[in-house]
Structures are given as structure tokens and as C-alpha cells.
Amino acid sequence: MTQSSLRDPVALTQALVRCPSVTPAEGGALALLEEVLTPAGFTCHRLTMTEPGTPDVENLYARFGRGQPNLCFAGHTDVVPVGDEKAWRRPPFGAEIHDGVLYGRGAVDMKGAIACFAAAALRFIAKNPGRQDFSISLLITGDEEGPSINGTMKVLDWMRETGERIDACVVGEPSNPKALGDEIKIGRRGSLSGELIVHGKQGHAAYPQLADNPIPKLARLIDRLSTTPLDAGTPDFEPSSLQVTVISAPNTATNVIPGEARARFNIRYNDLWRRPKVEAWVREQLDAAAKDARARYDVSFSGTGDVFLTKPGPLVETMRRAVTDLTGRNPALTTNGGTSDARFIQAHCPVIEFGLVNETIHAVDERCPVADLVQLADIYERFIAGYFGATG
């Protein structure tokens, strides 16, 4: 890319979208960012993280300056698969612009935001030559859409081990439901998944007295889990929710009572809870239902994200002012939606999320208006200037 295009969020978004970086492939996206950032004075670290049983993942940590505070922008260049490519009106990795709209996988989630905060950082640096009282860093992973094992979590561990400290972070996930400036996410609910196994005794369906059918017992257990409310919500969060997502039995014959039945569920919990308390609540409900149903069960849990909230303060208010100044909207401070890599970053520094409009993420013909990319870069630049107390 030419030097003049480095600060153009639209051209940079197009270049990133044209990198086929479907998880866990790097696809050239991190190499492109390194090519853009290094000439501007960023020190770039390409970090390949590994874990047995998972694919290796390439990540990037880039930092300009050595002063404090260190303001970090975080995101991911990996994208979900395109699905049926024939269903797309425009090539999914073509980054074509039609009628003022840029099409392509990752345009919104979230290569567009990465291009915008990279362009904003480069502009701010160019307008403030010689300043040594700040740092700007980018933490870019290739594993957010995948297992999230060899990405942000491990890069943060590497940063801690090498003495890299970040003081505040903006994650560029698409946070707006309808229009740029609708919402700033200041927290996320915790997410916990569980697998429930109810044990029975296999037998012939014609002789049920010789078997022990686990399926009706499983139904009673998951009915209690699904219908017992966890709470009524809090001032900052929606009510916690348990949703059963999978029910199965290892059986292909209609005349056989299976020996076990399984269910999987997911819980999104608010700031009334922490993971140990959620697990204890699940076991309490299952014990009560199992006693009535005379059921034998096992339950196991998995999950990598606890609930967090970034209270309104300098980070939140600086972003809110930047958004309001440039969009005319007063963004709501929300904690809804799914999970993001902010769940890892919150243990290291205050973190918020603000990015593009999320209507087409993971969809066929993922797309965003070019005008939104231009405006988002302007918002990020205004935010950086405000955070560092500069006029930019």
C-alpha cells in the first residue's frame, strides 16, 4: 500500500478483507498490518501460539512509543467461513464497493474496525511528532472466531511475562445494532456451558420393566433447569438465562431403550453471579429434580468468560464524547450480546467495545457503508486525542 493510503480506513479495510483469513488461517492479514505499522514507528511482534489438540494461531502485538499510558486497540483478523459462496451477490473476499457499500467477509466483524483504529492511530501520531508521553498499541488475534485458546488470552500472558502493560483498551467488535453511535458496550455477561448425562439401563422397548429409560428423567431435569429463574436482572445487566441447546441419546433403533441420555446447555449470567456460584446453583436444581425423578446423573462445565463491568469513568466518557461529537447521538452504555475477547482483557485493564453496525455479521453479503468506515476512523481519532489530552 502507498503511504497516502495507510491512513485511509476504506482502502485498508479493502486490503484486509481481500486476505482470506478464515480461522485459523492468517491469510496475509497480519503481514499486511505489520507492513502498514512498521514504517510509522510501531514495534511489531508476530506471536505464534500453540496448544496440544488445537491449531497453531498467529497473532500480532504492535506498539508505538514507550511512554505511559499505553492505550490499546484490540481485535481479530480471523473470520468465519463464507458458507455458500454462490449465495453472495459480491465475491466474499473481493471487498467490492457498490452504491457506497463495501461487501466482504470480515468487513464488519471486524476488519473494518481494525482498519479504522489503525488509520486513526497513524493520523494521531503524524499530528503529534516528538511526543513521548504516550503509547498506542494494537493487539490483533487470529483466534477469536475459533476456540479462543491460542489468541488474545495467550498474548496477554506473553505481555505480562515481558513487562508489556496496557492501561486501557478499546475492542473494535461491532457494537451498534442499527446506526453508528447507538451503543458502547461497557461489560459482558459471563458465559458457562454444561453437559448433563442421565444414566439408565438399556433394554427392549417391549419390556420396559427390565430397563431404565433415562430420556423421561432427562426431560424432568432439564425442565427444572429451564423454568427456574436465576434472577430478575440488575441495573447494569439483563436477567441471567439458561438455555438448553442440544438433547441426544446414543440410539438408532426405535425398539431399544437407550442406556443414557444427554443434554447441553448454556448460561449467560450477570453480575449477581460468579462461575462457582452458577455451578453450585445448577447442581442444586439437578439434585432436587433427580431426587423426584430417581435419576442418576453427571454434569460437567466449560467456559472461558466471567462477567465484567467497566464503570463509567475517563475511558467510557472519553469515548462517549467522541461518539456524540461526531454522530450527534448519545450512545447507550450496554452489556448485552454474546462474548468477545474483552472477557480476557478486563483482567488487565479497563476495557470497552465500540465498532461498526452488527446487522450483517456472519451473514451472506456481510457489508458496511463506506461512510461508516470514514466516520468510525474519525471517532477513534477524536477518542485518542481526548484520551491523551491532545487536540489532535
Topology of 190-305 in CATH? Alpha-Beta Plaits (3.30.70)
How large is the average pLDDT for residues 12-34?
A: 97
Which of the given ranges, 144-153, 330-339, 348-357, has the highest pLDDT on average?
Answer: 348-357
Considering the candidates 26, 143, 144, 366, report the single residue annotated as catalytic: 144
Q: Which of 128-132, 275-279, 311-315, 382-386 has the lowest mean pLDDT?
A: 128-132
Is 13 a residue whose pLDDT tops 80?
yes
d(CA 383, CA 117): 10
Q: Which residue has the cell 499530528?
A: 127
Band the pLDDT of 6: cuts 50, 70, 90.
Answer: low
Question: Of 215-224, 280-289, 330-339, which gets the smallest average pLDDT?
Answer: 330-339
Cα 327 versus chain centre, distance = 25
Residue 30 backbone class (left: φ over 0; alpha: ψ -120 to 50; beta: rest): alpha
For residue 326, pLDDT over 80 is answered with yes
Could you say which of 8, 58, 78, 378 is catalytic?
78
For the entire predicted model, the pTM comes to: 0.90
| pLDDT greater than 50 at residue 146 | yes
Asked whether the beta carbons of 351 and 171 are under 8 A apart, the reply is yes
Most confident of 249-253, 262-266, 388-392: 262-266
Q: Mark whether 144 is an active-site residue.
A: yes
Neighbours of 40 (CB within 10 A): 16
Average pLDDT over residues 5-21: 92
Rounded-to-integer distance, Cα 71 and Cα 384, Å = 8
Separation in Å, CA 297 to CA 203, 242, 285 = 19, 18, 12
Distance CA 150, CA 147 (A): 8
Q: Is the per-residue pLDDT at 392 higher than 70? A: no
Looking at the domain 3-188+307-387, which fold is it?
Aminopeptidase (3.40.630)
The answer to whether 78 is a known catalytic residue is yes
The pLDDT assigned to 391 comes to: 39
Residues 121 and 136 sit within 8 Å (Cβ to Cβ): yes
**Contact predicate 1/33, CB 8 Å:** no
C-alpha cell at 16: 484486509
Other beta carbons less than 10 A from residue 338's beta carbon: 10
> Domain residues of the chain, as ranges?
3-188+307-387, 190-305
How confident is the prediction for the chain on average, in pLDDT? Answer: 95
User: Which class for 300: exposed (0-12), middle (13-18), buried (19 or more C-beta within 10 A)?
Assistant: exposed
